[in-house]
């Protein structure tokens, strides 16, 4: 076997290891979220998972997403190709206008939907959907929620669901913080 063939084999093997690691991590996170949110294993009571009423003051106001690497960001352009950790870097922090809240489990505010309003963001004008990752009661001023984030070109409807999205992790905060 020549050196080039060994090198190609190594890169393919490494790419498969990374892909399996990403899939395994997402499966673990999904299962942990399922246990925490549906079954309640290891979680506080469901009443303790929400955005508090002070967040209502931010409807139609601009908030900031401070992005985090988390387990890497996913981008539709990376589908069906070998990627490295560099391909999973988060997008830079950005601003968005909060349009509505989403509720789950006993009508608790767990997230929201907004539109990105940031000329420096390559997804300016796209929709953002976010939901809290952890148990607790959060606000946008001091106790910032860590959130799962999805960015879509258009709102999901029964005709275009599920559409491809950019996905990642970050905290939501007022533009004063």
CA angle 164, 102, 123 (to 5 degrees): 40
Give the count of domains, the chain: 2
Q: Do 9 and 83 sit in the same domain of this protein?
A: no
What's the domain range around 100? 46-174
List residues bridging with 146 in a β-sheet: 171
Q: What is the pLDDT of residue 96?
A: 97
Considering the domain architecture, whether residues 28 and 50 belong to the same structural domain is answered as no
pLDDT at 68: 87
Q: How far apart are CA 26 and CA 18, in angstroms?
A: 12
Q: Is the overall model pTM greater than 0.75, yes or no?
A: no
Q: Residue 13: is its pLDDT beyond 50?
A: no
Q: What's the pLDDT score for residue 70?
A: 72
Say if CB 50 and CB 112 are below 8 A apart: no
How many residues can be counted in the chain? 177
Separation in Å, CA 44 to CA 129, 135, 137: 24, 6, 11
Q: Which of 6-20, 69-83, 138-152 has the lowest mean pLDDT?
A: 6-20
Structure confidence at residue 118 (pLDDT)? 96
Identify the pLDDT of residue 177. Answer: 52
Q: Check residue 47 and give its pLDDT.
A: 46
Average pLDDT over residues 129-150: 92
Claim to verify: residue 165 and residue 87 sit in the same structural domain = yes
Q: Judge if 26 and 38 occupy the same domain.
A: yes
Looking at the fold, whether 85 and 140 belong to one and the same domain comes out as yes
* pLDDT band of 90, cuts 50, 70, 90: confident
- Domain shared by 26 and 51, yes or no: no
Measured between alpha carbons, how far is 131 from 65 in angstroms, rounded to an integer? 12
């Amino acid at each position: 076997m020549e050196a080039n063939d060994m090198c190609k084999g190594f890169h393919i093997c490494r790419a498969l290891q990374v892909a399996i690691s990403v899939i395994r991590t997402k499966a673990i996170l999904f299962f942990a979220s399922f246990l925490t949110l549906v079954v309640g294993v290891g979680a506080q009571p469901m009443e303790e998972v929400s955005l508090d009423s002070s967040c209502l003051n931010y409807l139609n106001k601009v908030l900031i997403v401070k992005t985090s690497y988390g387990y890497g960001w996913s981008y539709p352009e990376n589908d069906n190709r070998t990627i490295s950790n560099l391909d999973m870097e988060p997008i830079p922090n950005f601003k968005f206008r909060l349009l509505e809240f989403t509720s789950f489990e006993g009508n608790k505010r767990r997230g929201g939907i907004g539109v990105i309003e940031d000329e420096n963001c390559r997804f300016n004008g796209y929709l953002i959907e976010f939901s809290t990752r952890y148990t607790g009661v959060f606000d946008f001023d001091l106790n910032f929620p860590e959130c799962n984030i999805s960015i879509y070109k258009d709102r999901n409807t029964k005709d275009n669901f599920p559409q491809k999205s950019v996905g990642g992790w970050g905290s939501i905060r007022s533009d004063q913080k």
